[in-house]
A = this chain, B = another copy of it.
Amino acid sequence: MREGFHEELNRLSAQLRRMCTLAADAIRRASRSLRTADLDLAEQVIAADAEIDWARADCESHAQALLALQAPKAHDLRTILAAIYCAERLERMGDLAAHVADIARFAHPHHAVPAHLEYSFAAMADAAAGMADRLAELIERQCPCGFADLADIDQAIDTMHAHVLTVITSDHWPHGVQTAINLALLARFYERFGDHAVAVANRLGFAATGELPFHTHT
């Protein structure tokens, strides 16, 4: 039974890894739809969010079945609870990608992001997608101590978020209130995406080590 149980844990880990890949893909495509004002792509991202929602439901049902049937303890228990927690966060990351695509769709046929802020948003988008890629890679390598660099990437997103807020609230902002609100929300979506990725990393670290994650208000 124990061998079968560890196969089940590996399958749970593969489900989580797949969710990271789906979240990375979603934020990358949502960001491209934003950059290119591509309505079709934005709508594809919004429709594809259901796939991440189902992946979360599968992951949670599987974890719950393992809890009920195997009565796991210590490290195994932490691993299964972490999967439930992380699946929820990864689903939220998918939602945030869909929110980014929503704004691209809303702004269409115009670009939601003015040219002089394109660089900042492309950088936030790359950082956010890179965090989800990194989570997938670390889960695959079963290497929970490698998560510290995610906090650095998250800090970079926070800095760009602050920069965007400074620009759009300056006295010389030329693009009006609607654009400013869209940009404030977009920057917040990327920031929250990064926060969730850090929360996933913290929780996987906790599952591996048993040390409660430092509370970071994510």
A215–B168 contact, CB under 8 A?
no
> Contact between B57 and A215 (Cβ–Cβ < 8 Å)?
yes
- Chain B residues contacting A184 (CB-CB under 8 Å) are 181, 184-185
- Contact at A68–B64, with CB atoms within 8 Å? no
CA distance A81 to B88 in the complex (A): 13
Contacts of A159-218 to chain B: CB distance below 8 A: 165, 168-169, 173, 177-178, 180-181, 184-185, 188, 212, 215, 217
What bracket does the count of chain A residues touching chain B fall in?
20 to 34
- State whether B168 touches A177 (Cβ < 8 A): yes
Contacts of A64 in B (CB 8 A): 77-78, 81
Q: What mask results when residues 63 to 94 of chain A are scored 1 for a CB within 8 Å of chain B, else 0? A: 01001100101100110010011001000000
**Residues on B with beta carbons closer than 8 Å to the beta carbon of A215:** 53, 57
CA distance A181 to B185 in the complex (A): 9
Cβ contacts under 8 Å, A212 to chain B: 57
Q: Is A95 an interface residue (CB 8 A)?
A: yes
Q: Is the CB of A173 within 8 A of B181?
A: no
User: Which chain B positions have C-beta within 8 A of A85?
Assistant: 84, 88
- Chain B residues with CB under 8 Å of A177's CB are 168-169, 173, 177, 180
> Which residues in B have their C-beta under 8 angstroms from that of A84?
81, 84-85
CA distance A178 to B170 in the complex (A): 8
Does A73 contact B68, Cβ atoms closer than 8 Å? yes
**Contact: A95 with B217, CB < 8 Å?**
yes
- Chain B residue nearest in CB terms to A175: B177
Which 8 residue pairs spanning A and B have beta carbons closest together?
A71-B71, A169-B178, A181-B184, A177-B180, A68-B73, A53-B215, A68-B77, A173-B177
Known A-B contacts: A64-B78, A168-B181, A169-B178. Give 6 more (CB < 8 A): A57-B212, A57-B215, A67-B81, A173-B177, A181-B181, A185-B188
